[in-house]
């Protein structure tokens, strides 16, 4: 039998085997899940978890704390008051622990949110003058971090400019550039454009559009779906002619 002290400070005799095999036996002020976690985890892992506890509420304000610390404000209580005014919900010990980490040179910076591929694609395809300053900065960060994003961005913007300004005469040069220096996906697209070069060049040069024809085709298909299995071809022909 081994003597232990519970949360109230009173000593009690619990068998060591009961503590190890039945966490619920010691979970008077803690849940059995918490006791089991402490029992199963390594000591170093528990210590690391304790050091990081509470850091989540400080993450949105880490850059502010580092900026103020570099500006000369190294008092934890002063920084804590400033963070409270900014809406931080963490306690003083969280701020104080992070400030001490800055002094020791071991502070971990805030985790930067990584834009999704869809978001980066949107930034690339939108006109540059419609992007906010923050979006421009994040896009440039992504370009600097990944050479393939830089190549895709430049090629996509060149092709978009050809579409918007009807610069079909530049298509051949763009295809050659995409096949030689572009990523594989862009190269495949350029090869498909080359196979139908005359039609694509005409589409990027002439003012004519097949939009009206596509609209009529869509209208006819809609009528067909409405009548499928319920009417004859003769009635379909009459309905199409009446709505023409």
User: pLDDT for 15-31, tens place per residue?
Assistant: 444 444 555 555 456 67
Looking at every residue in the chain, the average pLDDT score rounds to 81
Q: How far apart are CA 225 and CA 228, in angstroms?
A: 5
What is the mean predicted confidence (pLDDT) over 98-121? 81
Confidence of residue 104 (pLDDT cuts 50, 70, 90): confident
- Indicate if the pLDDT at residue 11 is higher than 60: no
Residue 9 predicted with pLDDT over 50: no
Measured at the CA of 14, the angle between CA 13 and CA 17, to 5 degrees, comes to: 150
Per-residue pLDDT at 2: 42
Q: Considering the chain, what percentage of its residues have pLDDT values greater than 90? A: 32
C-alpha to C-alpha distance for 91 and 75, rounded to whole angstroms: 15
The answer on pLDDT for 91 being more than 90 is: no
Q: How far is CA 94 from CA 67, 76, 80, 90, 97, in A?
A: 17, 10, 9, 6, 5
Mean pLDDT calculated for residue range 218-232:
88
Neighbours of 83 (CB within 10 A): 22
Is the model more confident about 22 or about 139?
Answer: 139
Task: Give kind and range of the element (H or E) at residue 183.
Answer: none
**pLDDT(244) > 60:** yes
CA distance 93 to 228: 71
pLDDT digits (tens, 9 = 90+) for 156-182: 999 999 999 999 999 999 999 999 988
C-alpha span between 35 and 19 (Å, rounded): 9
pLDDT tens-digit profile of 32-88? 777 777 777 776 666 555 554 545 678 778 888 888 888 899 999 999 999 998 888
Closest by alpha carbon to 189, among 230, 238, 155?
155
- HSE, side-chain direction, 13 A CA sphere, residue 166: 7
Q: Which residue has the higher pLDDT, 90 or 186?
A: 186
Contact 11, 5 (CB under 8 A): yes
Could you tell me what percent of the chain has a pLDDT over 70?
Answer: 80
- pTM beyond 0.85: the answer is no
Cβ neighbour number for residue 176 with a 10 Å cutoff: 12
Indicate the pLDDT class of residue 207, thresholds 50, 70 and 90: confident
């Amino acid at each position: 039998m081994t003597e232990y002290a519970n949360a109230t400070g009173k000593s009690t005799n619990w068998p060591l085997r009961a503590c190890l095999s039945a966490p619920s036996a010691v979970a008077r002020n803690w849940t059995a899940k918490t006791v089991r976690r402490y029992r199963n985890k390594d000591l170093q892992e528990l210590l690391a978890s304790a050091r990081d506890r509470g850091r989540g509420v400080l993450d949105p304000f880490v850059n502010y704390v580092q900026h103020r610390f570099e500006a000369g404000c190294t008092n934890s209580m002063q920084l804590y008051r400033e963070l409270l005014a900014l809406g931080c919900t963490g306690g003083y010990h969280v701020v104080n622990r992070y400030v001490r980490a800055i002094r020791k040179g071991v502070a971990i910076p805030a985790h930067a949110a990584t834009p999704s591929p869809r978001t980066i694609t949107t930034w690339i395809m939108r006109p540059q003058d419609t992007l906010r300053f923050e979006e421009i900065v994040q896009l440039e960060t992504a370009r600097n971090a990944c050479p393939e994003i830089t190549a895709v961005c430049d090629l996509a913007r060149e092709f978009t400019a050809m579409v918007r300004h009807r610069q079909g005469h530049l298509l051949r040069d763009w295809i050659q550039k995409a096949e030689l220096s572009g990523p594989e996906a862009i190269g495949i697209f350029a090869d498909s454009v080359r196979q139908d070069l005359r039609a694509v060049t005409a589409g990027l040069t002439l003012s004519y559009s097949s939009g009206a024809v596509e609209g009529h085709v869509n209208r006819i298909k809609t009528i067909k779906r409405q009548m499928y299995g319920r009417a004859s071809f003769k009635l379909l022909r009459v309905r199409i002619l009446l709505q023409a």
